[in-house]
Structure 1
Amino acid sequence: MRIAGLLVAATLTAACSQSVGGDAEPPESTRLTAPTSTAPSPTTAAGGRAPNQNSAIEDVIAWIEAGTPADASAYHEAYLDGVTTRLGDDVAFTAPAGAPNKTTQCMTDAAYNDGALSCLVDLDSPAPRPAGAEGMWKPGWVDFAGTTAQLGSLHGDPGPFVKGVGPPLPEGHSLTFGDTRCRSDTTGLFCVNYAHQSAIWISIAGVAPFGCLQPVPASSQAGRMFSC
């Protein structure tokens, strides 16, 4: 067991190497190729115009549901240095982040955060560490729990991402898990929580909220926060 622990520590170090935004970089096998321009694309592989930050929640939900459903059984595992970890009912996936060679890694972990969706995105302009905050600042860490969404977080460990990253969710496809459905797009990742009729858009620009989510003062442990 001590040898296994050392191996986990070694792979964890590789998984948590810092990128420009302070987030873990996915292995080459799971990286997705985004458009050659950083400007948002108005169309997607499944057709239709992607929502913008001013879109109504009804339009966001309809657009997400118009995506091609992905086989959820293919997203119950994560990969790290050639090791596959089965996730049970949890899911892991990788999606475009709205710019070339930029991706968003997402994972649920019922034991870690009650099944809320956690994502890592390499932000174009990451927020600085909050004044007085202690610990490892992850500006591109996103937590989406339906009634709340948070961008930027302090973490002394990689949380669920210690297991690695999930397979790609192709552009134009949607993945349903629990009360949440996410659709991948060239402009980023859109996720809706049906139980609370809220949604977020994750991209290199940050997080855009929809529905009942409204900006609220951030704590000393976060960059931006939204709440219903």
Structure 2
Amino acid sequence: MRMAVLIASVLVAGCSSTTGGQAERIEPIPPSPSASSPSRTTTTPKPTTPPAPGAPVADVIAWVEAGEPADAGRFHSATRDGQTTDLGQDVAFTTPSGKTSCMTDADFSDGALACLVDLVDPPPRPADAYGEWKGGWVDYDGKSVTVGSVHGDPGRFTVGQGSELPYGQVLAFGDYRCRTDPVALFCVNYAFQSAVGFSDAGIEPFGCLKPVSAPPQTGEKFSC
């Protein structure tokens, strides 16, 4: 019995360290907060209303991106008088209201977007303009927007109009994304972080696009 007590004392002494003759207590390591608490992620709610005039371009981008993606394959042709023309890499589309029709032209404008808008109050014909004035012709290449220009013929729109882009859907092509809404057609250019709202009430620039002096034979211009 004495031998058993002696062995137990030796084992206890070997398993603990002492400080000043007292056994040192080893405190357990508490679990880290990241291990015990579930991670939290925050999501930004999708915008439910179109951007107002003067809104930051980030709000316009968020609004456009919140739409439903459209099948881009449906918008590579234009129709006029029942005849359909294949546009190849170019796109054409029309708003459900029929008041805005847009088309790209890779051969002559590097894929920049042009739209014919049925403006209620288009820019007046400049005194230096000659030829057929189209106050609702809008050119948007990302870094600038011109409203109203001279065209002797319908240009790229000779082949007609593209398919209807339903409200709420988003068409992506090149550096652009466009979303239709009853308020306006909103198009974003990611290369220049700019955007434009097209409606019969007027053309609304966003982002870096600011009013500048219009060049000869044009009505209005906005530029980055």
| Same fold by TM-score greater than 0.5 | yes
Where relative contact order (Cα < 8 A, 6+ residues apart) is larger, the structure is: 1
User: Could you tell me whether the CA contact under 8 Å between 2:171 and 2:179 is conserved in 1?
Assistant: yes
Separation (CA, whole Å) in 1 of partners of 2:113 and 2:195: 12
Question: In 2, distance between residues paired with 1:209 and 1:165?
Answer: 24
1:102 offset after TM fit, Å?
Answer: 4.9
**1:126-145 equivalences in 2 (<5 Å):** 126-145=122-141
Ranges in structure 2 where 5+ consecutive residues have no aligned partner: 1-45
User: Residue 164 of structure 2 aligns to a residue in which SS?
Assistant: coil
Which of structures 1 and 2 has the bigger CA Rg?
2
Q: Which secondary structure state, in structure 2, belongs to the residue aligned with residue 88 of structure 1?
A: coil
Please list, as runs of the form range in 1=range in 2, the aligned pairs for 1:19-168 lying within 5 A after superposition.
Answer: 48-96=48-96, 101-168=97-164
So what's the TM-score if we normalise by structure 2? 0.77
How high is the sequence identity, in percent, across the aligned residues?
A: 58
Contact 2:47–2:62 (8 Å) recurs in 1: no
Q: How many residue pairs were aligned?
A: 179
Q: Aligned AA for 2:165?
A: L
Q: Please report how far the alpha carbon of residue 170 of structure 1 lies from its aligned counterpart in structure 2 after TM superposition.
A: 0.4
Name which of structure 1's ranges 206-215 and 175-184 shifts more when overlaid on structure 2: 206-215
State the 1:110 CA deviation. 0.5
Ranges of 4+ aligned residues in structure 1 off by more than 4 Å = none
Determine which of 161, 166, 170 is the counterpart of 2:166.
Answer: 170
Shift of 1:112: 2.5
- Tell me the alpha carbon deviations over residues 165-222 of structure 1, each in whole angstroms, 9 at most, x when there is no partner: 0000000111000000000000111000001100000111221111111110112211
Selected match of 2:193 from 153, 176, 197: 197
- Given that 2:47 and 2:63 are in contact with CA atoms closer than 8 Å, whether structure 1 keeps it comes out as no
RMSD over aligned CA atoms reads: 1.3
Do the aligned residues in 2 keep the contact of 1:151 with 1:206 (CA within 8 Å)?
Answer: no
Write the distance in 1 (CA, Å) between the matches of 2:114 and 2:202: 14
Tell whether the 8 Å contact from 1:118 to 1:143 is kept in structure 2 after alignment. Answer: yes
Give the gaps of 5 or more residues in structure 1.
1-45
Conserved? CA contact 1:148–1:225, under 8 Å: yes
Separation in 1, partners of 2:137, 2:84: 23
